[in-house]
């Protein structure tokens, strides 16, 4: 259960939409703004006094009784008359008047500006001014005479008086004028924000510092009879979910369609790698077993075992400990898994953890159903009769899972179930990032578009949007798998469910 939200007046606000933020937020819950790139608000007070109003710099010297219309001693230009101060501060005393050389400003590095702003030396025309926050790729690549020869005489080189102010980092491309089609100086990806800088190995632009989207932040895939969408959500800094969708041909030539969805356990090490490894290995195992003619339910059981072995291997792989991510506890990589297979007139599901599968008939007059039972604290409380479902899922411990894939799992107990629907419909396979916003089967049916069987990708997109509109507090992944009845008289490829 989340702690009570403090008064909005005491909370920081999003710099994009001005919505209140909670402590520790990495992204704005309203607009998704990346808060990691927003610098903290400075605590210092302004040093300039405009028209005598506002706070004054404590160290600034107050001139001795300036007289209206009289030249002020120390003025940079002779004959300039400085007016008297007309405003007062909060104490009722006249606000001080400052001379230009008395304004003690600070550079971006924190050091004080020179006492006389005009006393610093401009660099030579051929010199390169470097900034500590960016690299000068254009200068490094330039080898022609233009990079070393002094500028020719002309209006641009008439002297400091005619030249504009020197940029502190003049060789870094201006994103407003950069050519989007220009090749990168030294290879790599181009920044999606400024379209001028190279993206470093940490995923940030070396020109503007903008964090780049990761490949897994939003993923969509559609096959003829299945589609899936995965999204990072609005609160997490990365997507730790993964999915795999595929199809195979059974020995009799009839099709089999597969969907696997995995949710990395965030409290474990490398959860994103765990979910990716589990989804890929389970999918490969299912395809191989189905093509050999293995019963779909047995194929699902074997696939979950194979997925568990793939996740276990991550714990012993080089780099699997604290050196990979020193900010996480050194527990084994872990994830949940749920899968569905439609083959030979059967619908088979398998799972470990709290990712779920739902059955939604095309005719919404028929009852929808949840096909899986969570391996979670809340489910155990309900099963034991200690709480009803509403009470259990309102508890702070509700989402503590009791089953998962990983080297530190208590024991591996794959759950599988086989169904033989009597009407067409769709199977929704998803992580808790979706079902948190549509927990009951009826709620999921209301969120699912009526044409989901004909447009599974659109249906998956709508469901992900439903979760994001609800707050997007977790990664969201959903696969939509249509189920069609076999042609009349064709029967099932399997004698029993």
Q: How far apart are CA 476 and CA 180, in angstroms?
A: 32
Contact 355, 302 (CB under 8 A): no
Confidence bin at 50 (pLDDT 50/70/90)? very low
Are 138 and 235 in a shared domain? no
Last residue of some domain: 196, 213, 230?
213
Angle at 415 between CA 473 and CA 315, to 5 degrees: 65
Confidence bin at 3 (pLDDT 50/70/90)? very low
Which residue bears the tokens 């009839």? Answer: 254
Last residue of some domain: 187, 213, 239?
213
Q: Give, for 442, the enclosing helix (H) or strand (E).
A: helix 441-447
**Predicted confidence (pLDDT) per residue in 88-107, tens digit:** 555 555 555 555 555 455 55
Are 181 and 315 in a shared domain? no
pLDDT value for 158:
43
Are 191 and 254 in a shared domain? no
In 353-424 the beta strands, taken as DSSP E runs, fall at 356-361, 369-370, 405-406, 415-419
pLDDT value for 26:
75
Helix then strand count (H, E) for the chain reads: 8, 12
Are 172 and 246 in a shared domain? no
Q: Residue 182: pLDDT above 90?
A: no
Are 290 and 180 in a shared domain? no
Confidence bin at 15 (pLDDT 50/70/90)? confident
**Is residue 9 situated within a structural domain?**
yes
Cα–Cα distances in angstroms (integers) from residue 300 to residues 335, 419, 452, in the given order: 17, 13, 25
**Is residue 230 situated within a structural domain?**
yes
What is the three-class DSSP state of 466? helix
pLDDT value for 89:
52
**Is residue 93 situated within a structural domain?**
no
Last residue of some domain: 198, 213, 228?
213
pLDDT value for 478:
98
- Under DSSP, the state recorded for 409 is -
In the predicted model, what is the mean pLDDT of the chain? 76
Q: Is 435 exposed, middle or buried (0-12, 13-18, 19+ CB in 10 A)?
A: buried
List the strands of the sheet with 476-483, edge to edge.
Answer: 218-223, 226-231, 476-483, 425-430, 356-361, 369-370
**Predicted confidence (pLDDT) per residue in 233-269, tens digit:** 999 989 999 999 999 999 999 999 999 999 999 989 9
- Domain CATH for 24: 2.30.30
Are 318 and 274 in a shared domain? yes
- Domain CATH for 413: 3.60.40.10
**Is residue 116 situated within a structural domain?**
no
Structure tokens at 168: 């502190």
Are 3 and 136 in a shared domain? no
Q: Which of 29-38, 140-149, 379-388 has the lowest mean pLDDT?
A: 140-149
Are 193 and 223 in a shared domain? no
**Is residue 121 situated within a structural domain?**
no
**Is residue 490 situated within a structural domain?**
no
**Predicted confidence (pLDDT) per residue in 381-406, tens digit:** 999 999 998 898 889 898 899 999 99
Structure tokens at 21: 């933020």
**Is residue 387 situated within a structural domain?**
yes
Confidence bin at 438 (pLDDT 50/70/90)? very high
Task: Sort strands 226-231 and 356-361 into parallel, antiparallel or unpaired.
Answer: unpaired
Domain that holds residue 26: 1-44
pLDDT value for 1:
38
Q: Residue 44: pLDDT above 70?
A: no
What average pLDDT does this structure show over 112-131?
45
Are 183 and 272 in a shared domain? no
Count of structural domains within the chain: 3
Confidence bin at 208 (pLDDT 50/70/90)? confident
**Predicted confidence (pLDDT) per residue in 361-370, tens digit:** 999 989 999 9
Q: Residue 137: pLDDT above 80?
A: no
HSE value, Cβ hemisphere, 13 Å, CA-based, for 169: 14
pLDDT value for 173:
53
Confidence bin at 193 (pLDDT 50/70/90)? confident
Q: How far apart are CA 371 and CA 220, in angstroms?
A: 24
Are 175 and 291 in a shared domain? no
Are 344 and 358 in a shared domain? yes
Q: How far apart are CA 87 and CA 84, in angstroms?
A: 9
DSSP β-bridge partners for residue 94:
88
pLDDT value for 64:
52
pLDDT value for 95:
53
Cα dihedral value 139, 145, 151, 152, nearest 10: -160
**Is residue 428 situated within a structural domain?**
yes
Are 135 and 251 in a shared domain? no
Contact 339, 304 (CB under 8 A): yes
Q: How far apart are CA 400 and CA 200, in angstroms?
A: 37
């Amino acid at each position: 259960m989340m702690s009570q939200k403090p008064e909005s007046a005491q909370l920081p606000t999003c710099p994009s939409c001005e919505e209140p933020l909670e402590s520790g937020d990495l992204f704005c819950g309203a607009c998704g703004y990346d808060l990691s790139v927003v610098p903290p608000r400075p605590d210092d007070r302004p040093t300039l006094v405009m028209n005598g109003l506002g706070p004054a710099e404590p160290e600034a010297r107050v001139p001795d009784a300036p007289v209206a219309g009289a030249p002020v001693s120390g003025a940079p230009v002779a004959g300039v008359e400085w007016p008297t101060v007309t405003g007062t501060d909060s104490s009722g005393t006249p606000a001080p008047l400052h001379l230009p050389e008395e304004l003690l400003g600070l550079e971006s590095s924190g050091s004080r500006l020179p006492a006389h702003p005009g006393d610093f030396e401009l660099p030579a025309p051929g010199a390169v001014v470097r900034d500590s926050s960016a690299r000068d790729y254009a200068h490094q690549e330039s080898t022609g005479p233009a990079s070393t020869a002094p500028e020719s005489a002309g209006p641009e080189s008439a002297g400091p008086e005619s030249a504009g102010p020197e940029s502190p980092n003049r060789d870094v491309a201006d994103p407003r004028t950069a050519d989007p089609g220009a090749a990168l100086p030294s290879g790599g990806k181009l920044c999606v924000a400024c379209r001028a800088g190279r993206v470093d190995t940490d995923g940030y632009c070396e020109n503007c510092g903008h964090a780049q989207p990761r490949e897994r932040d939003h993923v969509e895939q559609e096959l003829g009879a299945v589609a899936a969408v995965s999204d990072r959500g609005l609160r997490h800094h990365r997507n730790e979910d993964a999915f795999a969708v595929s199809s195979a041909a059974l020995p009799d030539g009839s099709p089999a369609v597969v969907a696997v969805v995995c949710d990395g356990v965030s409290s474990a090490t490398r959860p994103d790698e765990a979910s990716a490894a589990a989804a890929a290995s389970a999918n490969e195992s299912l395809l191989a077993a189905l093509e050999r003619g293995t019963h779909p339910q047995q194929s699902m059981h074997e696939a979950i075992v194979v997925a568990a072995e793939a996740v276990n291997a991550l714990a012993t792989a080089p780099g699997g400990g604290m050196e990979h991510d020193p900010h996480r506890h050194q527990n084994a990589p872990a994830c949940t898994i749920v899968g569905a297979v439609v083959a030979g007139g059967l619908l088979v599901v398998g799972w470990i953890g709290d990712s779920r599968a739902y059955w939604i008939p095309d005719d919404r007059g028929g009852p929808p159903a949840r096909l899986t039972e969570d391996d979670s604290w809340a489910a155990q409380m309900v099963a034991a009769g200690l709480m009803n479902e509403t009470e259990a899922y309102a508890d702070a411990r509700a989402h503590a899972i009791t089953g998962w894939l990983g080297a530190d799992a208590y024991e591996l107990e794959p759950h599988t179930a086989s169904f033989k629907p009597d009407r067409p419909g769709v199977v929704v396979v998803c992580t808790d990032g979706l079902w948190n916003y549509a927990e009951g089967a009826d709620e999921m049916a209301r969120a699912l578009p009526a044409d989901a069987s004909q447009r599974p990708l659109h249906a998956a997109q709508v469901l992900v949007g439903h979760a994001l509109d609800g707050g997007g507090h977790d990664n969201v992944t959903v696969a939509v798998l249509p189920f069609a009845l076999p042609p009349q008289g064709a029967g099932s490829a399997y004698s029993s469910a």
